[in-house]
Structure 1
């Protein structure tokens, strides 16, 4: 009752209300700042502890000083300036020490109540230092029980405050913590004021100048609001910055950094949610896997910056796709997924055609028009999978089959596809193992002069005998090597083996090795050829590289540059399969070929078909005009050879002259000479792989 009476009858309630407002706002700011300090470490924690101490100390002192100005003793009052300033320092330093101690225990709870008790003691020390600065003309006495009670209350509620403030994530603590700090300050002050009794001296003047004290109280309150507002502002800035950083990190974790599309993680969540919605609503959805065509060529030709630009342009199209319910995601370098709910099969087919058209429409990349295209694999829920994982697996299988079917192909999953794709992948794995273990074989087919019959050289032909499946046809494993990305390793293996074998031949015949289109656009090709020649000891004049016109048209400028570098090494270059594909005369004019190889399809019917004969005659005449040697492939009868001789063809290759044979059987390698019968034809011939192209 003494405390209540002191508050009601001995204080200016307006100033008490002002002090309470400063106290409440300061408690809110202090709670938030302490939470920031408690949640970090190192220098950041020290900085937040300092801000918390300044904010709390200012709020505590302002509350105390305004409330003291509201106290109306029965005698004149003055203030000691030194002790008043000291009381401010006691509040700030003591509060900072308490918060530093409490924050030091952020890994546990041991230091929280201790730091809170120190905070309460600093409030008490500030209060009684300020009371000693309160000079009144009268006899002052103190109630010891009230003094002890005020210190105990401040320490207890201070300890409760730090414990609650450290648990702000719990709903109750968020509301209770500021109230505990307010209680610690208010109970200390008014219990301490109740312990203060003044007996005026006889003849003393009137009490405090209320007008001056009210002005002073407003000034202190204004400064207190500014300091507290600064604390609240810093907390809001930090919270906003942290929220933005958290959102940015969340976006980075769930989106592809290049295109901004959802990544595999976010897409998996979306697909699971979509499948669950479809399951509950008895509807269907489709998962479409996309693997871009010609993307590696774009990177190899124009650089990775062009590839990134193309992916970003494609992602922009995906975000603007008409069907808003479609969700696109980038799940790999040039792989994408689309999740698409639909009502009818016709709607799904229309959407698939729209996606295909979007992917095949040329892109503007660095001022160049680039057409990528893609293989699309489609799996449908619930027909092709009862959950998201099965849908992803089956869409991936369908996409793999689409890539094998050719460019810009769409393939819907069926039950037989899984076995086919698994077998293809197992075969690709076995092919890689065959390359790594040197289990492939190179056979050689002789090339002779049509005029004299003398050996001109040999063509290196790749064969693969699988330990279980036996001889694997080249038209099966060569496309497989291109699909699986093994073609560069396979081509390098053939080149090294052929050069190493040819280096040991006597007489020193030449060797012809086929190049794939992927090898030709590889910037490392000239360096590889040079390195293989040096390591094998083969003379560059004995090596001939064969390539098709189809390989040249992918990037004519880059192909021409690579061929010129190769010829600068002293290696000759032949145009293979002439007469098929484009067969452009511009190619013969632009590229420095040393030989033209006439495709076997024209030689087979040269004796019976007038058009085939006319083509053979035109090509041989063209070769003589351009001073380029012409070699005919697929010679199987003496009649064909005689006709080519009459047309003055330079060279011949085929089963009539010799079948492909292992290196140890070559006469140039010390093996027995092997000559085909005159009437030997296709029926008795064993197909062989030509280089890494797969031609017979």
Structure 2
């Protein structure tokens, strides 16, 4: 027995040493252990069978107890292998018990019976223990697979949630939230490293036309290809973002203005290359605004706003190029914001007022109408109309202000009817004309004021015909059907064409001041051309910006019907207008 145990101990040592240098073969290892265990059980069985005839009753009982205890322990310790556990218990107890049962002595028979009974119980116990252990191992493995599957599903769900919350689904670029997080992190790093960051705000030029004419599906494909082109040029994809619509952001680490402009030019050049689809070859471009950290701003939201501002002004002045934010643009932004905020309450705060400039007959120099001109006094500053009207149009405030002007102009014209039956001319923007309620607003102004419609003139610029021409012509026809006269203001400076004149069927055209100023050079031929066209269509002609008697005489002789300008009067406040009409305190010529 001692020799056998020493052999098994040595075998265990060599087995452990071998496993350190070469992979373990689990089946061979289990078989190796099982053979050693069965050999040990067989040795104990032989020991009991050989010695039991020569030992006394106490030693015999002691032996049966020992092997029973070993069988009992084996039923659980060896439960990992059912065959090994059952063979070990059976070899220890069954042969020895059978041998005792065959002996004539009663006490030996009793010990054999007890051993056989215990052996059967151990076989059953070993079988159940082995089954339980196998079930536990199987469940453990199944649970491990289940846990692995659950972890994989959780990982997939986490990735899906991340993509939903961080990735723009159309382009695959980071969305606003993810980009802002990465930009904030990079700003913190750049602060510590004392480095600059350039933020590029990219807006596609001509994209809206693709959506409107070809369709949003094609527009989406353009956006996808644009995103790929951005990633192709700039490799740090964590700092590229689709900000919204056709706007993209790129943050450039450790950059200066020169590097940022070079990158912007590359991006514009790449974006401007043709987009080729199945049957379409499309061309767009891009305008880029650039803001620098920390020179222009230290907060990510402010940096983006300033880059957007630079892009906006660059698009107005030099589209399809790159421009860097400057202190001048910053002042413009602050002033624009101040005016926008002020306009929202200008009517309620009674800061708006109308002044009236007379339009006179070219033969008699007597007034035939007044043009209503809007003035705005913000605190102690008179804001020029060319500045605040564009802001009102841009931020959607022109509708409210335009309606107020119409109402006030009609009321003023009604008030002077008792002195002189003169018309009032009101400028209307294309945004107002596009309003579905515009005709109703005009009708309401006439009703509220009691002014006959024939005394209202609506002045529009040629730029209205760059919009929805058919709809606008319908609106103009509705005005004329009510007896309201329509004038084309600043004629010849924008979208003039014979087709516009023919379709419009206006009542008057107004020659712009620029041509009146250049009567001595190249302005006169244009004035003569306008007069010929107007005469052919039966329109009256008004010349604006008349500042000298000489200009007035030249225009009168040329055949201009009406004149307007500082030579006759500057725009008059309402209180002075009454004196002007009475011909008292104010001379005709200022």
Q: Is the 8 A contact 2:549 2:567 kept in 1?
A: yes
Task: Please name the residue that 2:325 is paired with.
Answer: 413
Question: Which one scores higher on RCO, CA 8 angstroms, separation ≥ 6?
Answer: 1
1:662 partnered with 2:580: no
Structure 2 CA distance for aligned equivalents of residues 3 and 497 of structure 1: 116
Look up the match of 2:19: none
3-state SS of the aligned residue for 1:478?
Answer: helix
Is contact 1:404-1:483 (8 Å) kept? no
State the 1:675 CA deviation: 9.2
Alpha carbons 1:572, 1:593 under 8 Å: kept:
yes
Counterpart contact for 2:580–2:587, Cα < 8 Å: no
Q: How far 1:405 sits from its partner (Å)?
A: 4.7
Shift of 1:464: 1.3
Computing the radius of gyration over CA atoms, which structure comes out larger, 1 or 2? 2
Deviation at 1:461, TM superposition (A): 0.7
Q: Given the alignment of the two structures, is residue 8 of structure 1 paired with residue 8 of structure 2, yes or no?
A: no
Structure 1 residues 560 and 292: alpha-carbon distance in aligned structure 2, compared to 1, 3 A threshold: farther
Q: 1:240 to 1:264 in 2, by over 3 A?
A: same
- Pick from 443, 460, 485 the counterpart of residue 355 of structure 2: 443
Structure 2 segments unaligned to the other structure (5+ residues): 1-65, 94-111
Query: Out of 411, 425, 448, which is 1:512 matched to?
Result: 425
Give the match's secondary structure for 1:434: coil
Kindly provide the CA deviation profile for residues 235-262 of structure 1, in whole angstroms up to 9, marking residues without a partner as x: 6665555444433332232245665542
Query: Quick one: structure 1 residues 298 and 203, their matched pair in 2 at CA, closer, same or farther if it must change by over 3 Å?
Result: closer
Matched, 1:17 2:80: yes
Question: Which aligned pairs between 1:32-181 and structure 2 lie closer than 5 A?
Answer: none
Q: Distance between the aligned counterparts of 1:406 and 1:341, measured in 2? A: 26
Residue 374 of structure 2 is matched in structure 1 by: 462
SS of equivalent residue, structure 2 residue 289: strand
Instruction: Say whether 1:318 aligns with 2:244.
Output: no
Q: Out of 146, 159, 169, which is 1:247 matched to?
A: 159
Is the aligned partner of 1:422 residue 2:355? no
RMSD after superposition: 5.1
Name the residue aligned to 1:354. 266
Alignment partners' CA distance in 2, 1:359 and 1:436 = 47
**TM-score, normalisation: structure 2:** 0.66
Query: Aligned pair in 2 of structure 1 residues 203, 412: CA closer, same or farther (>3 Å)?
Result: closer
| Post-superposition offset of 1:443 | 1.3
Q: What is the rounded CA distance, in whole Å, between the counterparts of 1:631 and 1:318 in structure 2?
A: 53
- Judge conservation of contact 2:198–2:255 (CA < 8 Å) in 1: no
Change (3 A) 1:263 1:580: same
Q: What is the CA-CA distance between 1:596 and the residue it aligns to? A: 1.3
> How far, CA to CA, are the matches of 2:68 and 2:298 in structure 1?
74
Instruction: Select the residue among 382, 389, 395 that pairs with 1:471.
Output: 382
The 1:613–1:233 alpha-carbon spacing in structure 2 relative to 1, beyond 3 Å, is same
Aligned position for 1:546: 459
Q: Please give the TM-score of this superposition, normalised by the length of structure 1.
A: 0.57
- What is the CA–CA distance in structure 2 between the aligned matches of 1:255 and 1:571, rounded to whole Å? 55
State the Cα distance separating 1:286 from its structure 2 match: 1.0
Give the aligned length: 500
Give 1:337-352 correspondences, 5 Å limit: 337-341=249-253, 346-352=258-264
Cα deviation, 1:659-693, whole Å, max 9, x if unaligned, reads 322345445x9964479757x4xxx6xxxxxxxxx
Deviations 1:38-77 (A, max 9, x none): xxxxxxxxxxxxxxxxxxxxxxxxxxxxx99x998x99xx
**Aligned position for 1:580:** 493
CA distance in 1, matches of 2:190, 2:115: 93
